[in-house]
A = this chain, B = another copy of it.
Amino acid sequence: MHLIDRLKSRGWRLTAQRRAIADTFSGPSIHLTPEEVWVRARVAVPEVSQATVYNTLHELVRLGELREVDGLGRSRRYDPNTHAPHHHLLCDGCDRLVDVFPEGDLLASLPAASRHGFSGLQAEVVYRGTCPDCAPR
């Protein structure tokens, strides 16, 4: 079932704005800021407001259709890949962000003695480096 249909079946009122916003997330490895979503959505619906973009992004996160990615720059990014658990590879030069799928159990790196009694642990990894385009030659 496609995104739009999933949303409809959950009682969403389907407006041109929401459709335009949801449509900006077609593709697997996309990480848009609210600003970028706004710019793109306005191509289809010029009168869409930033408030609606923010509202809709929050909704999509709440419904599990988007994942919020924090701490990679001044602005949040939204990632439509919620099916496959993954991590991120960030270029320090140009801020390019790529999905990556590390292998092995990342939690194994944290010995029980270092867990400070925490439960329900999960590991979130950001790999940082320099992408080929930004590498000095």
**Interface-central residue, A106, A109, A117, A122, by most chain B CB under 10 Å:** A109
CA distance A101 to B111 in the complex (A): 9
Q: Contact check, A130 vs B103: say whether CB atoms are below 8 A apart.
A: no
Q: Give the number of copies in the complex.
A: 2
Q: Does A128 contact B (CB under 8 A)?
A: yes
Interface flags, A84-102, vs B, CB<8A=1, else 0: 0000010100000010111
Q: Does A110 contact B (CB under 8 A)?
A: yes
In the complex, which of the residues B98, B104, B130 contacts A120, with contact meaning CB atoms closer than 8 Å? B130
Q: Contact check, B102 vs A109: say whether CB atoms are below 8 A apart.
A: yes
Q: Does A115 contact B (CB under 8 A)?
A: yes
Q: Contact check, B130 vs A118: say whether CB atoms are below 8 A apart.
A: yes
